[in-house]
Amino acid sequence: MENYSSELDGLFQALADPTRRAVLGRLGHGSASISDLAEPFDMALPSFMKHVRFLEESGLIRTRKQGRVRTCTLERARFAMLENWLSEQRAIWEARTDRLEQLVLAKQEFLRHEQKRETDR
Amino acid sequence: MENYSSELDGLFQALADPTRRAVLGRLGHGSASISDLAEPFDMALPSFMKHVRFLEESGLIRTRKQGRVRTCTLERARFAMLENWLSEQRAIWEARTDRLEQLVLAKQEFLRHEQKRETDR
DNA sequence: ATTACGCTTAGCTATTGAGCTAAGTATTTT
DNA sequence: AAAATACTTAGCTCAATAGCTAAGCGTAAT
């Protein structure tokens, strides 16, 4: 029962490692097998596999085994969750700006009334 | 001597915690003191402080102490690093699409030649 | 039928992260 | 001057992460 927040946890955590980001970059060019993916890294295979599993659990990749080869594929849709979060943050900033604007507008309104009273006097 | 990659590590790591994301959300509305920020969380202050320090080290917030109060401010510019990384990934995908397009175009070209030979015959 | 390949499992170590309590410091407030 | 406020430091626990080696297992090649 993963909720939105804990999915974000996993997502960001998955991205917080240079090996995993490199794998994502590689998969951006197209699917690949575990050993193809592992080849550039100076790391024991079981260690590398952990990264792959982490990526899969975060939803950023899918994997499928045929025969003795496991093929990994980028799950591009998952990146939308990141964009979403960023949008939410920006929305908050915008909201703030709006309120600032309202303050400024309210002040202008106030000043207009002041001026009006000047002329009324 | 932080490089681009380890800065991304810190950035994503900072975002991989719900408390820290909540703090960023709160700061999106405007700066706040440590105790104001901590108030909604059922957590000892020193524990909360660790999150604040983590956020500061990741570059996502700045803090300044005046008297006995430390005020935290969102460093919006830092979010651009996220957007950048996302763009890079998308750029990779696009590059792939381009190559696919080239394949398709090459195939169309081939078929055109085939047809031409038909008519030539 | 063997051997080689491509993972996979099990289990160990060291480091880091998230939380805690207790006690300390520096500023305000009273 | 004393008390209250707002952090801050020190140091502990527990769980999770990143790495390793050694050995196992199913599939493919010879």
Are B82 and A82 in contact, with CB atoms under 8 Å apart? yes
Residue A65 has pLDDT above 50, yes or no: yes
Closest CA to A83 of B23, B24, B83, B90: B83
SS3 B87: helix
pLDDT attached to residue B11: 98
Shortest Cα distance, chain B CAs vs residue A104, angstroms: 16
How many degrees, rounded to 5, is the angle at CA B53 between CA B47 and CA B54?
95
**pLDDT per position as a tens digit, B9-68:** 999 999 999 999 999 999 999 999 999 999 999 999 999 999 999 999 999 999 999 999
One DSSP character per residue, B14-76 reads HHTSHHHHHHHHHHHT--EEHHHHHTTS-S-HHHHHHHHHHHHHHTSEEEEEETTEEEEEE-G
At A2, is the pLDDT very low, low, confident or very high (cuts 50, 70, 90)?
confident
- State the nearest residue by CA to the C1' of C10: A46
pLDDT attached to residue A107: 56
pTM of structure: 0.83
**pLDDT per position as a tens digit, A37-60:** 999 999 999 999 999 999 999 999
Beta bridge partners of A70: A65
Looking at beta carbons, which residues of chain B come within 8 Å of A98?
A: none
Are A73 and A39 in contact, with CB atoms under 8 Å apart? no
Residue A14 has pLDDT above 80, yes or no: yes
Q: Which residues contact B83 (CB under 8 A, 6 or more apart)?
A: A86
Give the pairing type, strands B61-66 and A61-66. Answer: unpaired
Are A84 and A73 in contact, with CB atoms under 8 Å apart? no
Q: Which nucleotide is nearest to A51 (CA to C1')?
A: D18
Looking at beta carbons, which residues of chain B come within 8 Å of A10?
A: 16
pLDDT attached to residue B1: 55
Q: Average per-residue pLDDT in chain A?
A: 87
Residue tagged 């000043």 (tokens)? A111
% of chain B at pLDDT higher than 90: 73
At A94, is the pLDDT very low, low, confident or very high (cuts 50, 70, 90)?
confident
CA of B47 to C1' of D29 (A): 58
Are A32 and A62 in contact, with CB atoms under 8 Å apart? no
Q: Hey, where are the domains in chain B?
A: 4-74, 77-121
**pLDDT per position as a tens digit, B103-118:** 666 655 554 444 444 4
Residue A73 has pLDDT above 50, yes or no: yes
Residue A116 has pLDDT above 90, yes or no: no
Inter-chain contact B28–A83, Cβ cutoff 8 Å? no
Residue A99 has pLDDT above 90, yes or no: no
CATH 1.10.10.10, applies to A4-74: yes
**pLDDT per position as a tens digit, B80-103:** 999 999 999 999 998 766 666 666
Longest dimension (CA), chain A: 92
pLDDT attached to residue B103: 67
Are A59 and A78 in contact, with CB atoms under 8 Å apart? yes
At B2, is the pLDDT very low, low, confident or very high (cuts 50, 70, 90)?
confident
- H or E segment to which residue A3 belongs: none
CA of B112 to C1' of C12 (A): 63
Q: Is the CB of B18 under 7 A from strand C?
A: no
Q: Would you tell me which residues 41-100 of chain B have a C-beta closer than 8 angstroms to some C-beta of chain A? A: 74, 76, 79, 82-83, 85-86, 88-90, 92-93, 95-96
